[in-house]
Structure 1
Amino acid sequence: MARREKPQLYLRPDEGMIKGVCAGVAHYLDVPVKLVRLIVVLSMFFGLFLLTIIAYVILAYWLEPAPAQETARRYISPARQLERVALQLQDDEQHLRQVERYVTSEAFGLRNRFRQL
């Protein structure tokens, strides 16, 4: 299994509405950007206005913009995503068929009976 590299926290001004802080946090946490924006707005309404603004301003000036290759690497076309999903489904189907073949075989039943003894 390939090891994923540790994500970096960057500003994403090309995807952001103001400075790209929420988009950067969303990419870092691998969640939708709209969810991060919703959390920020709700935190402002529920008594954390000053803390949210301070954290946003600090992150806006502390973080660096995402490198060009980082942004390009993140984008995967919808057609490519569908190809990946189709391949993954084919692999999963093959694995499921192997498991089903084993579970329905006589060897599985025989081993199961021996374990019960």
Structure 2
Amino acid sequence: MIANGSKKLYRIPARGKVKGVCAGIADYLDIPVRLVRVIVVLSMIFGLFMVTLVAYFILAFVLDEMPESEEKSEKAPTAHQLLDKLEAELQGGETHLRDIERYVTSETFSVRSRFRQL
């Protein structure tokens, strides 16, 4: 519907609570879904109940559902996956550092450095 570069505003019922409007807005704006839901609830509490409710249902019926092809291609890694990847990178760096330390403290390193000084 509304273009933001190459992004479009969709409803995402699979990740939503009622019709997926908040999930679609959050995906479009690249912000957490909880933040959008909190903003919606706070706007309803602080005097904009009818405006928020009408806007929500208008968006629910006007916005198209996100196609499955786009939803699958935009799937972000979970926090657990990111932590596993980070742990693997740190482990590789630590192994490399140990190899360097082992070489620098070895007899071979000291012999080579003495030959370079000659």
TM-score in same-fold range (> 0.5): yes
SS state at 1:14 partner: helix
Percent of aligned pairs with the same amino acid: 47
Q: Counterparts in 2 of 1:86-97, with a 5 A limit?
A: none
Q: May I ask how many residue pairs the two structures share in their alignment?
A: 84
The amino acid of 1:40's aligned partner reads V
Query: Shift of residue 5 of structure 1?
Result: 4.6
Equivalent-residue separation in structure 1 for 2:50 and 2:71 (angstroms)? 31
Equivalent-residue separation in structure 1 for 2:5 and 2:55 (angstroms)? 26
Residue of structure 2 equivalent to 1:45:
45
Equivalent-residue separation in structure 1 for 2:5 and 2:81 (angstroms)? 21
Normalising by structure 2, what TM-score?
0.63
4+ long deviations beyond 2 Å: 76-84
Residue of structure 1 equivalent to 2:24:
24
Kindly provide the CA deviation profile for residues 77-116 of structure 1, in whole angstroms up to 9, marking residues without a partner as x.
Answer: 33664548x6xxx9xxxxxxxxxxxxxxxxxxxxxxxxxx
Query: Shift of residue 68 of structure 1?
Result: 0.5
SS state at 1:65 partner: coil
Kindly provide the CA deviation profile for residues 15-73 of structure 1, in whole angstroms up to 9, marking residues without a partner as x.
Answer: 00000000000000100000000000000000000000010010000000001111101
Equivalent-residue separation in structure 1 for 2:32 and 2:45 (angstroms)? 21
Equivalent-residue separation in structure 1 for 2:8 and 2:67 (angstroms)? 11
Structure 1, unpaired ranges of 5+: 91-117
Normalising by structure 1, what TM-score?
0.63
Q: Counterparts in 2 of 1:72-83, with a 5 A limit?
A: 72-78=72-78, 81=82, 83=85
Work out which of the two has the higher radius of gyration on C-alpha atoms and give 1 or 2. 2
Equivalent-residue separation in structure 1 for 2:55 and 2:17 (angstroms)? 16
The amino acid of 1:51's aligned partner reads V
Cα RMSD for the two superposed structures: 2.3
